[in-house]
Every structure is written in C-alpha cells, then in structure tokens.
Amino acid sequence: MARMFRVLGFWTLAIGLMALAGGMKEMALLFFFQTAAFVVLGYMNLSERAYILIFWGYLILSFTGFTYWSFFQMSV
C-alpha cells in the first residue's frame, strides 16, 4: 500500500511539471505540494488501515474543494 502513495507522488509530479510548462504556476505548486506529501507518506510505513483512511480523507477534501471551486468561484 505504501508503494501506491509513491506512485501517486510520481503522477502528481508529472502533472505538476506539465502545468509548469503550460504556465499554470498555481496549479503546478499545488501538485508539487501533493507530490511531496505523497512521497513522505509512502516512506512512513504505516498500517494499511491508516493509508486507506488518509487516502479517503484526501479524496473527500479534494472533491469537496473541486466542487466548491467549480460551483462558486468559476464564472459561467
């Protein structure tokens, strides 16, 4: 399970680099932060239950933030 957080770190790094190349600095910084968090979590050797709870918390937070941003902040 810890290896999957390192895989998530790799993919968020790839997305962050593409965002940086596209001139989207805020998005790139957000994904670089996620990369650092996922890589650190990947090397912490927590229990599988802890990893699953952390991942579900991440999903709830990110989907709530995305829904808020797309509903209240974006212009139509």
Residue corresponding to tokens 């990893």: 51
User: What digits encode the pLDDT tens for the residues 27-51?
Assistant: 999 999 999 999 999 999 999 999 9
Structure tokens given for 40:
């650190």
Q: Residue 38, by phi and psi: left (phi above 0), alpha (psi -120 to 50) or beta?
A: alpha
User: Which range marks the domain in which residue 64 is found?
Assistant: 2-73
Structure tokens given for 57:
């918390």
When divided into structural domains, the chain yields a total of 1
* CA dist., res. 43 & res. 51, Å (int): 11
Answer yes or no: are the C-beta atoms of 45 and 1 closer than 8 Å. no
Is 52's pLDDT higher than 90?
yes
